[in-house]
């Protein structure tokens, strides 16, 4: 569990170094706003990581085993890329800075592939829930250190030193890689590149209910994603100040999400993943309805605090169960490839739901919009009926 937490921290830390921190650096240096926006495209490897995941399933380096060998090489490369990004000059050589940022996201996405595979192969199914929750909490703390800590440091020291310090913060992840055991591979590994690329898809789609599982992944957090995509304009629209939003929504909400993921992980040790998905999914939908209540009552700070606490707790629990579910359905022979594909698919609703949310809220009004987001969660819950213990045994 400690390894899951530390590896989560290592996964979360690089993400915002190429977004929040890099954007602040470029803005401070007077880089054109259009170019700053274009640089966000360096994040594409996070979406496309399934393209090279088969290579990490197929090939094994001659040291530390299939997972830890790749992880050590990728982590050291990631540290070098982060430090190198800090040595670039965005105003004078923006293309070079963007190239360095792309290397950071590429190695960061590659690290995510191997860490997800390691967690699936190292933990038994009954411990995947708690392991996933600790990974998620480590991920969020890594993001907080990179964005909040990085910006605070940048007010006091040069950005080059900020990136060097952040590269050094990945040392605990390297230590975990060296000290942790290599997972056993009872299922073996692919013996050819074709097998690594094609067989994960063939194995998955031969399963009973494969398409239902994909539909469930797309729909389970759809309502939650739609509601959260446009909450900042909502808070401002009903009268909350930016200070109130920052204090309650961002700081208090962050720790509520961390607490929710931990509580969800502990509950999944007692309950199986299937029952946890039901319970946490219902809580997610109910928490979305809380925004509709807030829209009706208005700028009540006490109600805002309650809604944020409930929403972030339930969202944290739902995310932990969702991650554990996706890990549990991967075949250990192709863990890296299948999990990379499923996690990329999981991000589709978040992106697709963000686009129409503003139009819907504008035409429906805030209260009706959040009621709609609550109702849109129901199809994802109903799909869980396809995964009852009886159906799984027949499959």
CA 391 from centre of chain: 29
Query: Which residue in 286, 301, 316 sits closest to 235, CA to CA?
Result: 301
Q: How many helices (H) and strands (E) does the chain have?
A: 23, 0
Q: What is the DSSP letter of 20?
A: H
Give the Cα separation of 134 and 220 in Å (integer).
Answer: 21
Q: Which of 96, 129, 67, 167 shows the shortest CA–CA distance to 261? A: 129
Could you tell me the CA-to-CA distances from 66 to 19, 25, 183, 188, 386 in Å, in that order?
A: 31, 38, 9, 11, 34
Pairwise CA distance, residues 8 & 82, whole Å: 17
Residue 79's Cβ-count burial label (10 Å; 0-12, 13-18, 19+) is buried
| Phi, psi (deg, nearest 5) at residue 124 | -65, 160
Residue 393's pLDDT is 43
Q: Which two tokens stand for residue 250?
A: 């961002």
pLDDT at 249: 66
Q: Which of 224, 308, 326, 320 is nearest to 263 (CA)?
A: 320
pTM of the model: 0.73
Closest CA to 143 of 234, 20, 282, 268: 20
Q: What residue ranges of the chain have pLDDT lower than 50?
A: 390-395
Token couple for 187 = 């299922």
276's torsion region: left (phi>0), alpha (psi -120 to 50) or beta? alpha
| CA distance linking residue 157 with residue 198, whole number of Å | 49
pLDDT value, residue 169: 93
**For tokens 């139009």, what's the residue?**
359
The encoded tokens of residue 14 equal: 């690089």
pLDDT at 357: 74
Q: Which residues of 354-364 are buried (b: 16+ CB within 10 A; e: fewer)?
A: eeebeebbeee
Residue ranges per structural domain of the chain: 2-185, 196-394
Cα-based angle 266, 333, 76 (whole degrees, multiple of 5): 75
d(Cα 45, Cα 207) in Å, to the nearest integer? Answer: 29
Query: What is the reported pLDDT for 178?
Result: 92
132 token code pair: 């996933």
**pLDDT score at 348:** 66
Pick the CATH number of 196-394 from 1.10.10.60, 2.60.120.510, 3.90.930.60, 1.20.1250.20: 1.20.1250.20
Domain 2-185 has CATH 3.40.50.720: no
Q: How many CA atoms lie within 13 A of 121 on its CB side?
A: 29
Contact by Cβ (8 Å): 202, 334? no
């Amino acid at each position: 569990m400690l390894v899951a937490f530390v590896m989560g921290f290592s996964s979360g830390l690089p993400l915002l170094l190429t977004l929040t921190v890099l954007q602040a650096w470029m803005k401070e240096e007077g880089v054109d706003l259009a170019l700053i926006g274009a640089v966000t495209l360096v994040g594409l490897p996070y979406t496309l990581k399934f393209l090279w995941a088969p290579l990490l399933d197929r090939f094994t380096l001659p040291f530390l085993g299939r997972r830890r060998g790749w992880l050590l090489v990728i982590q050291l490369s990631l540290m070098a890329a982060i430090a190198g990004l800090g040595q670039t000059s965005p105003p004078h050589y923006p293309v070079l800075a963007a190239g360095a940022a792309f290397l950071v996201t590429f190695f960061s996405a590659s690290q995510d592939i191997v860490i997800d595979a390691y967690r699936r192969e190292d933990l038994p199914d009954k411990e995947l829930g708690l392991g996933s929750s600790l990974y998620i909490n480590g991920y969020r703390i890594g993001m907080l250190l990179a964005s909040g800590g990085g910006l605070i440091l940048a007010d006091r020291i040069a950005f080059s030193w900020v990136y060097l310090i952040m590269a050094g913060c990945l040392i605990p992840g390297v230590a975990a890689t060296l000290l942790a055991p290599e997972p056993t591979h009872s299922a073996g590994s692919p013996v050819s590149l074709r097998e690594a690329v094609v067989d994960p898809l063939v194995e998955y789609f031969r399963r009973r209910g494969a398409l239902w599982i994909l539909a469930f992944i797309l729909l389970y957090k759809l309502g939650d994603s739609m509601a959260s995509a446009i909450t900042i304009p909502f808070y401002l629209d009903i009268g909350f100040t930016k200070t109130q939003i920052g204090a309650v929504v961002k700081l208090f909400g962050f720790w509520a999400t961390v607490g929710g993921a931990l509580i969800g992980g502990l509950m999944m040790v007692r309950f199986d993943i299937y029952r946890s998905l039901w319970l946490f999914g219902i809580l997610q939908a109910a928490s979305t309805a809380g925004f509709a209540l807030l829209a009706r009552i208005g700028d009540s700070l006490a109600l805002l605090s309650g809604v944020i606490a409930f929403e972030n707790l339930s969202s944290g629990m739902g995310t932990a169960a969702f991650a554990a579910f996706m890990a549990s359905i991967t075949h250990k022979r192709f863990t890296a490839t299948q999990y990379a594909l499923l996690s990329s698919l999981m991000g589709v609703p978040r992106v697709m739901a963000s686009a129409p949310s503003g139009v819907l809220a504008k035409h429906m009004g805030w209260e009706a919009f959040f009621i709609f987001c609550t109702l849109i969660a129901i199809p994802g819950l109903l799909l869980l009926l396809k995964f009852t213990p009886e159906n799984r045994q027949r499959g």
